[in-house]
A and B are shown apart, each in its own frame.
Chain A
Amino acid sequence: MSNTGVSLESLDKDQIKTFSDFLLSYNKLSELCFSDCVNDFTARTVKPNEEKCALNCMEKYLKMNQRISQRFQEFQMLANENAMAMVQKAGASG
């Protein structure tokens, strides 16, 4: 018990948030890839092509996420620069 107490104490708010985000995206990914890849219920077991599809789906989604996050950051940086320029302009004229 004392062991779990120590490890729980060392978990800070950010770590818990990261873990919960991970679990949420895990669930979302399962739902998405299951609905896109598994449509045949004439057998009880997962077929090789279904497994391949689901794993490809996961990998592709992660790569897509990476790309979107890259672009998103670029846009945010641009927006920040514009905001800074606006502030400086207002400061110079006012």
Chain B
Amino acid sequence: MAQMNPADQGKMQMMQDLEIEMMSDLYNRMTQACHKKCVPPRYSEPDLGKGESVCIDRCVAKYLDIHERIGKKLTAMSMQDEALLKNMNG
């Protein structure tokens, strides 16, 4: 790992930055979605209610689950496409 050339190191850094950016985008979208679904816009007190808390926990779990499932399906589909393209060209 230490003998990586500068160009590769730059690419590594770029990939890492991209991953961090993607994660924070996922986080922000999830926060927005779960806030909309779990916290009704009546702010009579500053604390999260019991139901709201449970809803948020489930919302995060479900959001990440769906994220993973969609990722898997998307990968499978793009791999299928690639194989098809290869067959047509080859």
Contact = CB atoms under 8 A, between A and B. Distances in A.
Interface residues of A, number: 22
Interface residues on B, range: 20 to 34
Interface of A: 32-33, 36-37, 52-57, 59-61, 63-65, 67-69, 71-72, 75
B46 A56 contact: yes
Contacts of B43: 33, 36-37, 52-54, 56-57, 60
5 contacts: A60-B46, A61-B39, A63-B46, A68-B34, A72-B64
B48 A60 contact: yes
Contact of B64 (A55, A57, A75): A75
A73 to B, nearest CB: 10
